[in-house]
């Protein structure tokens, strides 16, 4: 119903209609910037938002998952695979349905990814209080379960009156599309307000195109950055996820080649550069290659592009050993350039690298830098090839399984997805992507259970690619229900389950810190019986094609078959819980008890104290 320049809609109807009118342009094509809404309905959203989504169902997809956390993880992965150019919304009931999304919100917050969360909330009029699933705060009548979203949202608002939606939507879109502020937005939707009608200005529903903002460098910061690089004797580049989000892969490769600078990558930045290039050294830090870490140890200047410099990247700040070591932080977020006494260059990666290269016209790093990079790179690839090689061992390593996946699917035509356990370390070292987005790792929050749900989001964003989800049995057990979602949506994944009978990665860490084998592998748990889970039959019961193999050769044959299958396929293989790639890597600061009755802990503490004395301490 329309009257003059207003249209009468419920709050939920206005919300959904607004979302359908927000657009973006990618490769010349105008697309909805909100790709759809994941929804699990319950009281608090089924009558309001549910009805509104139904009305727009023909041109605004509503998707259903089996777990609220999983659907929000799928939305997070979609945004990551879309390089933040598009995102998704998620709606739930109040109470446990809403709180199930908090972990996923934290993932998106840490990884700086856009996602719109629309949890139902309690009645704004408070007349039915306490309603089913309502959290009551004895000191604050304004608190609900949704307040838990505040620390993991970049913007939070509670819609308790219809007209509040208008500024809230504008602020939400501003955050969701801002390169520096980007992250999850939560609009807690009071359930009675969702259903209230209001006369909305027609202008609210005008189509709007959101283009990525490219912040260009300040002239003085740019001149200082160029001077710092020219003065360096052993410089190198560290590429983070910001390079991918900026679409700056070509500029990064050109900058490195023009100025003779080796490039290492973080977990988020892996695939920002083609790892076939001579100056590409691969992963850095705790899970880094021997090549990248060797140059990092001697570097006097680290040109950090689009990275927040977390401890796995820096080897807990023990990796960079040169006394004259400095950081030049090129980042669109001023927050990140202010870390660790870095010299700031606040700008978009694509624009910043181009302008910095122009400011360095005619300059090239000393030839010894590229020469050493070539030598270390060759040694690393020799070690990596050995780790990836096929084997007849009864229990293969994770690396040997990775080798089989790479041989069958090829790094050029597939995207590998993972998040937690021992696989992130092996994949960061050993998977060698050649194009942006060919490696999809959620390691900012290292969220177990992300893998399968994340794979759905990746495939939705990149339907042209074969998406291979590699997941340990521990993560599989935490969240496997989305196998059924992938089948029901027709989103084909290839899922490789590596079964080491427990939490093998954390068991190794337990051993390294002097701990006894305890409560990680099934055999070390205090239980009456060890479970013998048939993962293949379990996956098959949810509609997937599934099989279990017993060798690397059989795995490769099963993966070849999976390529031709018409729906999600799960292949299970048992792996060794202790074998890891010895080459590469670096110390990681995990505190060891100062006192213990166990000699093993005492020995581990002594090693720990020796190692942490090598940490670089910033003022």
Average pLDDT on 379-401 reads 96
Closest CA to 5 of 169, 283, 279, 201: 201
Distance CA 170, CA 154 (A): 14
Helix (H) or strand (E) holding 157: strand 155-159
Q: Strands 87-92 and 62-63, how do they pair?
A: unpaired
Helix (H) or strand (E) holding 159: strand 155-159
* Domains of the chain by start residue, with CATH: 2-209 (3.40.50.970), 219-379 (3.40.50.1220), 389-574 (3.40.50.970)
What is the distance between the alpha carbons of residues 195 and 561, in angstroms, rounded to a whole number?
A: 50
pLDDT in tens, 422-435: 999 999 999 999 99
Cα separation values, 51 from 192, 194, 547, Å? 13, 10, 41
Question: Which whole number is the average pLDDT over 450-459?
Answer: 98
When pLDDT is averaged across residues 542-555 and rounded to a whole number, the result is 97
Cα 573 to Cα 226: distance, rounded to the nearest angstrom: 51
Please state the φ and ψ torsions of residue 569, each to the nearest 5 degrees: -125, 135
Burial of 141 (0-12, 13-18, 19+ CB in 10 A): exposed
User: With 70 as the cut, is the pLDDT of residue 2 above it?
Assistant: no
Position 618 pLDDT exceeds 80: no
3-state secondary structure at position 20: helix
User: DSSP code of 132?
Assistant: T
pLDDT band for position 528 (50/70/90)?
Answer: confident
Q: What is the pLDDT of residues 77-129, one digit of tens each?
A: 999 999 999 999 999 999 999 999 999 999 999 999 999 999 999 999 999 99
Q: How far is CA 327 from CA 226, 235, 300, 305, 321, in A?
A: 13, 10, 8, 10, 13
Task: Supply the pLDDT for residue 103.
Answer: 98
* Omega cis (within 30) before 319: no
Average pLDDT, the chain: 96
Tokens 């260009």 — which residue?
216
Q: Which residue, chain included where needed, has tokens 């396929």?
A: 569
What's the whole-number mean pLDDT along residues 152-160?
Answer: 98
φ, ψ of residue 617 in degrees (nearest 5) = -110, 125
Q: Which among 470, 474, 532, 530 has a CA at the least distance from the CA of 500? A: 474
- How does residue 4 score in pLDDT terms, banded at 50, 70 and 90? low
pTM of this prediction?
A: 0.97
Q: What is the pLDDT of residue 529?
A: 84
Contact 146, 121 (CB under 8 A): yes
Residue with tokens 């919100």: 105
Q: What is the pLDDT of residue 384?
A: 97
CA-closest candidate to residue 573, choices 498, 522, 505, 501:
498
């Amino acid at each position: 119903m329309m009257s003059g320049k207003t249209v009468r809609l419920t709050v939920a109807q206005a919300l959904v209609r607004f979302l359908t009118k927000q657009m973006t342009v990618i490769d010349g094509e105008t697309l909805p910037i909100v790709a759809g809404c994941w929804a699990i309905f319950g009281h608090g959203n089924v009558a309001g938002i549910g009805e509104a989504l139904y009305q727009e169902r023909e041109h605004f997809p509503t998707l259903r998952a089996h777990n609220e956390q999983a659907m929000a993880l799928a939305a997070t992965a979609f945004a990551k695979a879309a390089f933040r150019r598009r995102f998704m919304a998620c709606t739930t009931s109040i109470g446990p349905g809403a709180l199930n999304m908090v972990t996923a919100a934290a993932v998106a917050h840490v990884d700086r990814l856009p996602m719109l969360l629309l949890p139902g909330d309690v009645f704004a009029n408070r007349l039915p209080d306490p309603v089913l699933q309502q959290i009551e705060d004895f000191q604050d009548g304004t608190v609900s379960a949704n307040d838990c979203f505040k620390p993991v949202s970049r913007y939070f608002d509670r819609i308790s009156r219809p007209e509040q939606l208008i500024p809230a939507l504008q602020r939400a879109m501003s955050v969701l599309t801002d390169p520096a502020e980007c992250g999850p937005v939560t609009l807690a939707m009071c359930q009675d307000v969702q259903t209230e009608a209001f006369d909305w200005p027609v202008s609210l529903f005008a189509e709007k195109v959101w283009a990525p903002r490219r912040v260009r460098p300040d002239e003085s910061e740019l001149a200082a950055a160029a001077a710092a690089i020219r003065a360096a004797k052993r410089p190198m580049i560290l590429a983070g996820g910001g390079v991918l989000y900026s679409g700056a892969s070509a500029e990064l490769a050109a900058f490195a080649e023009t100025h003779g600078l080796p490039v290492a990558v973080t977990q988020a930045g892996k695939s920002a550069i083609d790892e076939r290039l001579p100056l590409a050294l691969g992963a850095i830090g705790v899970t880094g290659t021997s090549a990248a870490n060797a140059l990092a140890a001697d570097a006097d200047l680290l040109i950090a592009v689009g990275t927040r410099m977390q401890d796995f990247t820096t080897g807990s700040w023990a990796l960079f050993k040169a006394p004259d070591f400095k950081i030049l932080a090129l980042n669109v977020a001023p927050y990140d350039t202010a870390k660790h006494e870095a010299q700031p260059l606040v700008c978009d990666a694509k624009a910043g690298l181009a302008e910095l290269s122009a400011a360095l016209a005619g300059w090239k790093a000393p030839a010894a830098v590229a020469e050493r990079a070539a030598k270390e790179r060759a040694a690393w690839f020799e070690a990596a090839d050995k780790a990836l090689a096929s084997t007849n061992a009864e229990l293969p390593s994770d690396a040997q399984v990775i080798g089989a996946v790479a041989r069958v699917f090829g790094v050029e035509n597939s995207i590998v997805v993972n998040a937690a356990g021992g696989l992130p370390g092996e994949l960061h070292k050993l998977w060698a992507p050649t194009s942006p987005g060919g490696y999809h790792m959620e390691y900012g929050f290292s969220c177990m259970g992300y893998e399968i749900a994340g794979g759905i989001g990746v495939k939705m964003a990149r339907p042209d690619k074969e998406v291979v989800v590699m997941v340990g049995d521990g993560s599989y057990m935490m969240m496997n229900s989305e196998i059924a979602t992938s089948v029901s949506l027709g989103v084909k994944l290839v899922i490789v389950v590596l079964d080491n009978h427990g939490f093998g990665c954390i068991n190794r860490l337990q051993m390294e810190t002097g701990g006894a084998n305890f409560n990680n592998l099934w055999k070390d748990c205090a239980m009456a019986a060890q479970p013998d889970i048939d993962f293949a039959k379990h996956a098959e019961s949810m509609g997937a094609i599934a099989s279990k193999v017993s060798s690397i050769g059989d795995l490769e044959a099963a993966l070849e078959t999976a390529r031709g299958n018409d729906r999600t396929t799960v292949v299970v293989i048992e792996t060794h819980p202790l074998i890891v790639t010895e080459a590469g890597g670096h110390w990681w600061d995990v505190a060891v008890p100062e006192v213990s009755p166990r000699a093993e802990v005492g020995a581990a503490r002594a090693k720990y104290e020796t190692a942490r004395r090598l940490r670089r301490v910033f003022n």
